Amino acid sequence: EGAAEATPSTMSVVAPGREEALLKKINEKDREIIDLKLNHSRELMNKTVQLQKALEEQEAEQEQQEREHEQEQEETALEIMQKDDRLDQLVYQILSYLHYGTKVTSVASKGETTRMLLYLVTDQQSQHVCLSPLDENA
C-alpha cells in the first residue's frame, strides 16, 4: 500500500534512440564537471605550493637576518672588550708614569712656561697626584 504507483505524470517516456543521446549528454556534462573540479584542484594545489615556497623563502630570509644580527652583536661585544682592554692598558701606563714621576710643562695664559714633576703619592688611605715645580738649575 505504501509504495507509490507509477502514473503517466511521474513516468518519463523516452524514445529508445533519444535515451542513448541523453545518456551521452549526461556523461559529457559529468566529464565537464569532473574536469572543472580537477582543474580547480590543480589550481588550488599550485597556489598551495606557491604559498609554501614563499613561506620557506621568508623563513630563510628571516633566519639570515637573525644570523647577521647575532654576528653584529658578537662583533660589537668583541669591540667593546678590546676597547676596555686598551683603556685598562692606558690607565696602567698612566699610573706607571705617575708612580715613577714624569716631567710636564705648564703653559700659563700669558705664555710663561714652567717645568714641573707630576707624580703619584700613596698614603694609608688613598693615592694623590702631586705637581711640584722642577728646579731648572739642579
Q: What is the pLDDT of residue 138?
A: 52
pTM value is 0.44
Instruction: Report residue 29 as a C-alpha cell.
Output: 556534462
Give the residue among 119, 118, 90, 89 at the shortest CA–CA distance from 105.
118
Q: What is the pLDDT of residue 12?
A: 60
Walk along the chain (138 residues) and give the pLDDT tens digit of each residue. Answer: 455 555 555 556 667 678 888 888 999 999 999 999 999 999 999 999 999 999 999 999 999 999 999 999 999 999 999 999 999 999 999 888 888 888 888 888 888 888 888 888 888 788 888 878 877 665
